[in-house]
A and B are shown apart, each in its own frame.
Chain A
């Protein structure tokens, strides 16, 4: 890879981001809504990859960060400026993740999967109890920024999360995480401080989803614990990352793009078969292409290059 093709690539990426940003000026509400969803899931799936794709600690409860971020945000609603509130919700959830991550990440394999799911349910119920105590069954969020503004904010988060995954994958930190994924014991043997790296990955993986949750609440206009901590969000994130490929930044882009388009096509006409198709897809990818669309593509491209040479 030489410098000119690298800078060409950066210009290309910059142009795509600029086009998506520019669309906020004149696209219809419907199109902005789809874009908003697309960016939201890109940000979520990329964040998931930083923890689960890199370390192999499969989180089935990533909605816990999303929901907690949303809750922290609505608690601050009206007390602090909107965008400061978004940033603070990321910060608070990130710090929370550092605290809770230490005991949680001592559990491995399938037990971690169950624990992550349970943790999300636990936090949901704690929020429910707290809301009931305060006589709040739902909290409306009045006077939120326009959809076009939220769309731009979500685009920023999607770009940030994608950049973060791209960086982690090529960094010393990421080399440590991927070693942990392959063999935690052997990783520790060659000097990788596994507990510390896992904890940092866990917190990094939670910050963007918390901010996504905050922005999502402004779009939906109402906070309800059942929606903010909906386990379907967790499942969707995992499905998208696995179908796209979870070892590098292009994977989630492909997975999210594919599924959001599929959802738009099917949801309108055959909503009842959407979940069935999703299930079949997930099983097929896990069985036949465990490295996802991106992994499959890169393996085949490098093979055909080799054949051509």
Chain B
């Protein structure tokens, strides 16, 4: 198992954001996370990446306990994360953004020249290399989403957490994005957990899907099963009388 989430809960004051979540992810798998806004999906990513402290439970990465570590330490162990609301380093060039990932992350590349070379290669993978020397702030939304992915890839992840990298994209751009992610996954060999509202994308990419509703996990299974699941249909469409 690459990632084991053991009975974790998170509450902010009296508000419970996540409760008793347990699942695991196998190496090489693509796992989808589904749920309405506010269901706790992003909180789940924050807990895995170390940006929020667990209230209860443990998280293991390749058998090693990672809850309690700092985000930069978790990144160095091979967990990368993209943000739903993109966080580019706007004042730096596109290349510098990506090279920073290679210089730190789990690569910890010491040579600037090698880091730049890696960054160019990843920018080519995501189709942004022609913008390498532009300030990152000058990109379009689709460009920001690709940059977010490139920065995460540059850290050399074993586990990549993708938080709505396709939200706001046109159907064409969504198809391209799925292609990029799948190609990179083949090339760099990592495991993916993806939060997505674009259902088609989720169905296409994932081997299994976890459904979270009001902070609780109500279903887990292959996409076909999830689409038929009573509890999921009730949560999404409301109970039939």
Point out residues on A near B: beta carbons under 8 Å: 170-172, 175-176, 178-179, 181-183, 185-194
Contact = CB atoms under 8 A, between A and B. Distances in A.
B112 A172 contact: yes
A187 B24 CA distance: 27
Contacts of B112: 170-172, 175
Contacts of B106: 191
Given A175-B99, A191-B76, A192-B100, A186 B89 contact: yes
Interface stretch (B90-98, B167-175, B196-204): B90-98
A204 to B, nearest CB: 18
Interface in B92-127: 92, 96, 99-101, 103-106, 108-110, 112, 115
B69 to A, nearest CB: 12
A171 B100 CA distance: 11
Nearest to B137: A182
Contacts of B155: 190-191
Given A170-B112, A172-B110, A185-B87, A179 B72 contact: no
B96 A186 contact: no
A163 B162 CA distance: 41
Contact of A189 (B75, B110, B115): B75
B81 interface: yes
B90 A194 contact: no
Nearest to B156: A191
A171 B104 CA distance: 12
B115 A191 contact: no
Given A175-B103, A190-B155, 11 more contacts: A175-B100, A176-B100, A176-B103, A182-B89, A182-B91, A183-B87, A186-B151, A189-B49, A190-B154, A191-B72, A193-B104
A190 B90 contact: no
Interface in B42-97: 49, 51, 70-72, 75-76, 80-81, 83, 87-92, 96
B152 interface: yes
Interface of B: 49, 51, 70-72, 75-76, 80-81, 83, 87-92, 96, 99-101, 103-106, 108-110, 112, 115, 151-152, 154-155
Contact of A188 (B71, B90, B92, B103): B71
20 contacts: A170-B112, A172-B115, A175-B100, A176-B104, A179-B89, A179-B92, A182-B88, A182-B91, A183-B87, A186-B88, A187-B89, A187-B100, A188-B71, A188-B75, A189-B51, A189-B71, A189-B80, A190-B80, A191-B101, A193-B70
A194 B83 contact: no
B92 A192 contact: no
Nearest to A179: B100
Nearest to B133: A302
Given A170-B112, A172-B112, A183-B87, A190 B92 contact: no
A183 B81 contact: no
A190 B152 contact: yes
Contacts of A190: 75, 80, 100-101, 104-105, 151-152, 154-155
A191 B78 CA distance: 9
B62 to A, nearest CB: 17
Q: Which of the listed residues A178, A185, A190 has the most CB atoms from chain B within 10 Å of its own CB?
A: A190
Contacts of A170: 112
Instruction: List the 3 shortest-distance A-B pairs measured between CB atoms, nearest first.
Output: A191-B75, A182-B89, A191-B104
A144 to B, nearest CB: 43
B156 to A, nearest CB: 9
Contact of A183 (B49, B75, B89, B115): B89
Contacts of A179: 89, 92, 100
